[in-house]
Amino acid sequence: IAHSVYVHMYTKGLICAEAPFNHNVHNERVIGGHDAKPNTWKWQISLQMDSYNDGSYYHLCGGTLIDSFFIMTAAHCILSQYRVVVGEYNLYEYEGSEQFIRVEKITVHPQWTGDLAKGNDIAIMKLANPVYNNGYVAVADLPAPEQMLPHDFICYITGWGSVPAILQVAPINVVEHSVCSQPEWWGSIALRSMVCAGGDGIISGCQGDSGGPLSCYTDGAWRVHGVVSYGPSGIANHCTTMPPLTLITSYNNNNNNNDDDDDDKPVSGKTLR
């Protein structure tokens, strides 16, 4: 992350999300919206916390599977002991598609201060065991360095929010920085390291969506351009009308590590079939 965190990419047996699926959804909202189609947004994960240290886990935040061993989420989601659930659809039912994996290591952005208004709200989690391809998971592609989305480009936010059991999906328009940084929008809070999206008063993120992906179909592949961060009140996990999103373009993974661990050999992140 930001030139000082190095992530090995290891996707053996996993499929990157290159094949398009029917994403023509209308009038859907993560808040009060519509259910996502099963087995579609396969890179979405549920970050779950054992709040009472009794083995009972509860959904806290979303996240993105970016590698067999690595999850990307929001730094403000990092609180306690976690597990990651991939292949999740219905939070309240075991459907056989889920993989429950312990988190081994957490690395937050080195410039994350805990102040959401200062940005850098991003973290990488290393899993204790690799995710395997069971047909219900896929690795998200990340954008190329400096790839920017044009104003009004339609992307999608996904998450379980604070109420739904079923994964929710909603289209959301990108708002260029010159617009969302104006005083009547976000002003100086809208940093260059953020993507602004929404602002229509209808589609938004909410509690439980933090850390989840902003997925955009560009150059023939689904690419995760953002991590849901916070709302206009500056409070994490607050239901918002225009959630800014941490800009992934500024935090591209760097594979150039000198670690000699054979299990973590860096690869391109493309499909290894």
Tell me the per-residue pLDDT of 78-117, one tens digit each, with 9 for 90 and over: 876 789 999 999 999 999 999 999 999 999 999 898 887 7
Q: How far, in Å, CA of 154 to CA of 144, rounded?
A: 18
Catalytic residue numbers read 76, 121, 210
Residues present in the chain in total: 273
Domains 42-139 and 154-251 share a fold: yes
Report domain extents, the chain: 42-139, 154-251
Q: How far, in Å, CA of 186 to CA of 181, rounded?
A: 5
- 255 or 104: which leads in pLDDT: 104
Q: 213-218 and 99-108: which strand pairing?
A: unpaired
Number of neighbours of residue 236 by Cβ within 10 angstroms: 19
- 9 or 174: which leads in pLDDT: 174
Amino acid at 260: D
Amino acid at 33: G
Instruction: Pull the structure tokens for residue 18.
Output: 């290159």
**Angstrom distances, CA of residue 152 to CA of 23, 144, 179, 231, 255:** 17, 20, 11, 19, 32
Rounded mean pLDDT of 10-19?
44
pTM: 0.77
Measured in degrees and rounded to the nearest 5, phi and psi for residue 177 equal -60, -35
CATH number of 42-139: 2.40.10.10
Select from 1, 16, 72, 28 the least CA-distant residue to 166: 28
Amino acid at 175: V
Q: Choose which CATH entry (1.20.1530.20, 3.30.2350.10, 2.40.10.10, 1.10.8.50) describes domain 154-251.
A: 2.40.10.10
* pLDDT score, position 101: 96
* pLDDT score, position 213: 92
- 10 or 136: which leads in pLDDT: 136
Among positive and negative, which fits the CA dihedral 157, 217, 142, 180? Answer: negative
